[in-house]
Amino acid sequence: MDETFDVMILGAGAAGLTAGIYASRAKLSTLILNEGAVGGQMVLTNEIANYPGVEITQGFALANIMKKQAKDFGCKIKSNVKIVEYNLEQDIKSVVLEDGRSFKAKAVILAPGGKPRPLNLPGEEEFKGKGISYCATCDGEFFTNKKLIVVGGGNSALEEAVALTNYADKVTIVHQFDHFQAFEHAIQEAKNNPKIDFIMESELRGFFGNENLEKVSIEHLPSGKISEKIINGVFVFVGYIPSTEAFINIVHLNDRNEFIVDEHMKTNIPGVFAAGDCIAKKYRQVTTAVADGTIAALSATEFIRTSK
């Protein structure tokens, strides 16, 4: 038999958990469905230092607090599920899981987040998990006393490079431009770390090895010169791809496959809202995801109550 809720939230990152907190606290029956582990990108972040009112904490710890808050207000959370069917355009929305269970709701909040953007280079697929990683928190300890490359020039790349120096002997940041796109404090922290050096205006061109990654090729963009570097591991932080593939031709997306929403987090479908890293916006931080989730939940609450 179908279970019916007031609000169904698809995704349990910062945006989804916040939406769950607000919707359930408004006395709406609320369900969060998540295809992976609860916490989203937060659990992949080694350290969160700029969340207002919270001392420096690990990402998974902040995620666990949000999860507990949502559950304490009565929100049900089902993680590690696979959704195979979405029916969002009717007045009562529904989804069907791989195991045949289905759930219905009067309003839906889409918060699927995103996944790390790959470099799409020769050897990348072959050496994923064998020297190539997209998560310092997950894999940093495997590279104790090793030499690493971090690819990227934003906040994530620089902050995770610093975190990796807790394990690695040396971390080399490879970035395609002659400047970084990170906040100044992140840039200075990386530059002041004696274990970190930089290869600027350069891009990786391939990954090589036998059973595990052993070396990479790097092109210096101004000169076109290609060199090889012996390395134990590469961590890639070049942004995220929104996890919106399942909603193509259902919900309006922009040319980057991000949900198009208004200031109330409304999509083109009445009763369907979106929040977090999956929506079209400039900045992606835990705090912006929390704000999106708050607005989406309040908008969904208003939609349900006015629809009555």
pLDDT number for residue 239: 87
User: Residues 156-172: what's their mean pLDDT?
Assistant: 95
Instruction: Give the domain ranges of the chain.
Output: 3-115+240-307, 118-236
User: Residues 257-286: what's their mean pLDDT?
Assistant: 94
Instruction: Specify the amino acid at residue 51.
Output: Y
pTM flag (> 0.95): no
Select the CATH number that applies to the domain covering 118-236 from these four: 1.10.3720.10, 3.40.50.10070, 3.50.50.60, 3.40.50.10420: 3.50.50.60
For the ranges 36-40, 102-106, 264-268, the lowest mean pLDDT is seen at 36-40
pLDDT confidence of 17, banded at 50, 70, 90? very high
Work out the burial of residue 87: count CB atoms within 10 Å of its CB; fewer than 13 is exposed, 13-18 middle, 19 or more buried. Answer: middle
List pLDDT tens digits, range 177-216.
999 999 999 999 999 999 999 999 999 999 999 999 999 9
Share of the chain above pLDDT 90, in %: 84
User: Is pLDDT above 90 for 37?
Assistant: no
Sign of the Cα torsion 154, 157, 162, 163 reads: positive
Determine contact, residues 130/212, Cβ cutoff 8 Å: yes
For the ranges 57-61, 88-92, 117-121, 154-158, the lowest mean pLDDT is seen at 57-61
User: Is pLDDT above 80 for 238?
Assistant: yes
Instruction: Pick left, alpha or beta for residue 209 (phi over 0 → left; psi -120 to 50 → alpha; otherwise beta).
Output: left
Q: Where are the beta strands (DSSP E) in 11-82?
A: 30-33, 76-78
Residue from 166, 116, 174, 127 nearest 144 by CA: 166
User: Is pLDDT above 60 for 65?
Assistant: yes
pLDDT number for residue 308: 66
pLDDT number for residue 287: 94
User: Residues 92-102: what's their mean pLDDT?
Assistant: 95
Q: Do domains 3-115+240-307 and 118-236 have the same CATH topology?
A: yes
Share of the chain above pLDDT 70, in %: 99
Q: Which fold has domain 3-115+240-307?
A: FAD/NAD(P)-binding domain (3.50.50)
For the chain, how far is it from start to end, CA to CA, in angstroms?
Answer: 24
